[in-house]
Chains A and B, each alone.
Chain A
């Protein structure tokens, strides 16, 4: 009697598809999410979280989503060297897009030069890469200051990587 019930249960289980057992399909799905959704997905379970944080290709797809031509292979090595696609997205692409009102309806309050559909994404990517590089440059050297050289006018370490400060929104504490 018991064995028959167990077998029925096992069959049922095999008929239901568990996404966590098929990580490649999961990856394909996550690749198509937008930024906020990807962040939400990272809160689902440990597996999803490790995918979202460690798998940079997800973020790569996010960055180049609307660019018509696929980016050159060299882009990947440069971006990885400068800090990775996730960081590129968080630090540059997302603020740029939201400032330009291209990401969400809630950004409509800013007067924008481009309407949402028209944002020239290629220029966004170019600009983001440049800003990202400047940011990496500052971070690379912001922490290398010792007091002896700080007086010679280099970027003080507590203000390191602040060239992108203009992209941050002010927070009322």
Chain B
């Protein structure tokens, strides 16, 4: 008995996906709690129930709610079953000889074995496929099988879809579907006393291997449900439940592939941070986030789209002017400006004198990063013979700015444009900040103000709404990244987006800076601050469309025009929006 327990424990001691500490060596006494501790691989102290209501997480993933404390009992029953099968007549004994214990963590090997050994039974099991383990060591089938026909083992499936928040303990599947086999009518006679018979798949007499099937599509649905349930639990401050659910999400996410898996992982991390109160340190290494943004720039078209459309609007506004000044609220690496300088250099009539004021947050290592960017741009300007002047401003927040600091020259000599790419939403964290910035912009009296923002409402008062919105938004974003070629760039872009997810979900108050709002909301805000919209021309539309056609996932990207603003989206979902504004008192410039 002990030997088999060790065997059981060593089988079940799997390296779970998240890095858990190695379990203690198999203890001799098969006490329920210590067996549970050794089994699950976490160091659960004896005598305490784990936070998930005592349910074993690994089994929960595949559809069974079994208390960790009962695992030893289940193991015993399994051994009894094996014994019984060995002793029974009618050829069931072959089952006990042929069954193989699979390590549930070693899924790839197990799948290979399944596929290579599989003899399909004559009537193929109809879809949908159930979630079942048969004689795997983690199966919880605990009934004796009395004399059944050796050819088929039929099941009676009982199913109840349950949210894991119910603490109903019984060997019920969390979600499962029925499977019916053609043969025997002894299905109903199988139910033993207190426990329901766990379904085993149909076998023909020739097939010797039990079938083990995990339905990943259903796991995907369950993943989304679990995410929502966890968010709800967090919202209601039910932290133990939320903790359990977050762990489940981790397991479920592993069974997915592609974008869904990554999104789920990032959201799970953000929820975990919120639950445990581990808000990310806030100033993030500026150089690191710069590098992430560079990779994001290269991988997907969002930033390029933003730059190209904004530049087009600025170019058209500067038609005929001899001295121009651009104030950039989102300086970063200055990748927007080479293209504008080139367009200015090539415009009929020759280039104007170009002055650039770059505003950015202070660099973590005190280097004068803004000046370096300015110097690089100056070199380029010299190459293409554009008169260039640069000034860099370091500011913690745009609200700290004042029009007088910017050394504006009289508007007869110099025309000004203000540009902001993904910066304005950060001001919404502090009340009054965005109004102050807009009034400063009014004081500047610009020819045009170009604004690019994410098209989503992540600033609602309710946590659940924010969570749902951001789940949809970032799922779409990650989907659009899937087509990109360079995997390192793709990874960096995902990390970049992951930080945003973390901020939206885990932070509150002043720390939560990713307060995205929709185009409609920005329109209202600009309208009430004394700005009138400027229509982006068809040239911008054509350039943007062509740019998108060049990207690898080009068929999925869409440019839409929305009352003069351009929106870039993935399939039907708009993701970012470019808009342009001028002071309401000015007359509309004819295009």
Contact = CB atoms under 8 A, between A and B. Distances in A.
Interface of A: 72, 74-75, 77-78, 81-82, 95-96, 99-100, 110-113, 120, 123-124, 126-127, 129-134, 136-137, 140-141, 149, 151-156, 162-163, 165-168, 170
A153 B550 contact: no
Nearest to A163: B298
A83 B348 CA distance: 22
B543 A126 contact: yes
Contacts of A168: 485
Given A78-B384, A81-B383, A130-B308, A100 B546 contact: yes
B106 interface: no
B242 to A, nearest CB: 36
B376 to A, nearest CB: 5
B549 interface: yes
A159 B515 CA distance: 32
Contacts of B343: 126, 129-130
B519 to A, nearest CB: 24
Nearest to A111: B555
Contacts of A78: 342, 345-346, 384-385
Contact of A123 (B348, B363, B543, B551): B543
Contacts of A133: 338-339, 341-342, 380, 384
B465 interface: no
B546 A127 contact: yes
B10 interface: no
Return the 3 tightest CB-CB contacts between A and B, nearest first.
A153-B287, A153-B290, A133-B342
B195 interface: no
Contacts of B297: 163
Given A153-B291, A155-B294, A123 B542 contact: yes
Interface string B334-373: 0100110111011010100000000000010101010010
B369 A170 contact: no
Contacts of A170: 485
B545 interface: yes
Contact of A127 (B341, B372, B543): B543
Nearest to B544: A127
B294 to A, nearest CB: 6
B333 interface: yes
Contact of B346 (A75, A127, A154): A75
A110 B484 CA distance: 16
B288 interface: yes
Interface string B526-552: 000000000000010011011101111
Contacts of A166: 298-299, 301, 484-485, 550-552
A111 B548 CA distance: 13
Contacts of A72: 346, 348
B342 A129 contact: yes
A127 B547 contact: yes
B542 A151 contact: no
A130 B342 contact: yes
A165 B298 contact: yes
Interface in B359-409: 363, 365, 367, 369, 372, 376-377, 379-380, 383-385
B542 A120 contact: yes
B486 interface: yes
A45 B365 CA distance: 56
A77 B385 CA distance: 9
Contacts of B288: 153
A153 B546 CA distance: 30
Interface centre among B290, B343, B550 (most CB of A within 10 A): B550
Nearest to A130: B339
B486 A165 contact: yes
Contacts of B342: 78, 82, 129-130, 132-133
Contacts of B287: 151-153
A24 B542 CA distance: 39
A74 B345 CA distance: 8
Nearest to A156: B291
A114 B348 CA distance: 28
Contacts of B52: none
Nearest to A171: B485
B546 A141 contact: no
A86 to B, nearest CB: 17
A151 to B, nearest CB: 6
Given A130-B339, A152-B367, 15 more contacts: A100-B546, A112-B549, A120-B542, A126-B543, A127-B543, A127-B546, A133-B384, A137-B338, A140-B380, A163-B335, A165-B298, A165-B486, A166-B298, A166-B301, A170-B485
B243 interface: no
B338 A113 contact: no
B332 to A, nearest CB: 9
Contacts of A137: 335, 338, 376-377, 380
Interface in B152-176: none
